[in-house]
Structure 1
Amino acid sequence: MNAAPADQIRLLDLQALDTRLGQLAHKRTTLPEHAEIASLEADLTQHRDLLVAAQTEESDTAREQTKAEQDVDQVRQRAARDQQRLDTGVGMSAKDLENLQREVASLAKRQGDLEDVVLEVMERRESAQERVTELTGRVESVQAKVNDAVARRDAAVAEIDAEAASVTKEREIVSASVPADLLKLYDRLREKQGGIGAARLNQRRCEGCRLELDITELNEVRAAAPDQVVRCENCSRILVRTSESGL
Structure 2
Amino acid sequence: MNADPATQLRLLDLQAADTALSQLAHRRRTLPEIARIAEKATAADAVHTEVIDAQTAVADIELEQTRLENDVETVRARTARDDARLQAGGLPSRELEGLQHEIATLARRQSNLEDELLDVMERAEAAQASLADASSRHDALVAEQRALEGERDAAFADIDAAAAQRSPERAAIAGELPADLVALYEKARAQSGNGAALLRQRRCEGCRIELSGSDLAAVGKAEPDAVVRCDNCRAILVRTAESGL
TM-score normalised over the length of structure 1: 0.96
Instruction: Tell me, in whole angstroms, the C-alpha distance in 2 between the residues paired with 1:170 and 1:184.
Output: 18
For 2:205, give the aligned amino acid: E
2:183 aligns with 184
For 2:127, give the aligned amino acid: A
Give matches, 1:116-135, under 5 Å. 116-135=115-134
230-239 or 42-51: bigger deviation: 230-239
5-14 or 226-235: bigger deviation: 226-235
For 1:110, give the aligned amino acid: R
1:224 aligns with 222
Instruction: Tell me, in whole angstroms, the C-alpha distance in 1 between the residues paired with 2:185 and 2:197.
Output: 10
Q: Does 1:40 align with 2:37?
A: no
1:80 aligns with 80
**Partners of 2:40 and 2:145 within 8 A in 1:** yes
Instruction: Tell me, in whole angstroms, the C-alpha distance in 2 between the residues paired with 1:129 and 1:216.
Output: 81
Give matches, 1:149-188, under 5 Å. 149-188=148-187
Instruction: Tell me, in whole angstroms, the C-alpha distance in 1 between the residues paired with 2:233 and 2:85.
Output: 109
Cα offset for 1:120?
Answer: 1.1
Gaps of 5+ in 2: none
1:110 aligns with 109
Instruction: Tell me, in whole angstroms, the C-alpha distance in 1 between the residues paired with 2:4 and 2:115.
Output: 98
Instruction: Tell me, in whole angstroms, the C-alpha distance in 2 between the residues paired with 1:217 and 1:45.
Output: 59
**Partners of 2:188 and 2:195 within 8 A in 1:** yes
2:57 aligns with 57
2:18 alignment partner, SS class: helix
Cα offset for 1:138?
Answer: 1.4
2:232 alignment partner, SS class: coil
**Partners of 2:194 and 2:233 within 8 A in 1:** no
Instruction: Tell me, in whole angstroms, the C-alpha distance in 2 between the residues paired with 1:107 and 1:216.
Output: 110
1:207 aligns with 205
2:10 aligns with 10
Instruction: Tell me, in whole angstroms, the C-alpha distance in 1 between the residues paired with 2:133 and 2:79.
Output: 42
Equivalent residue pairs, number: 245
For 1:219, give the aligned amino acid: A
1:3 alignment partner, SS class: coil
Deviation by residue 1:87-114 (Cα, 9 ceiling, x = unmatched): 2232x22111111111110010001001
Which structure 1 residue ranges, 4+ long, deviate > 6 Å from structure 2?
none
1:120 alignment partner, SS class: helix
What RMSD over aligned residues (CA atoms) do the two structures have, in Å?
1.1
TM-score normalised over the length of structure 2: 0.96
Gaps of 5+ in 1: none
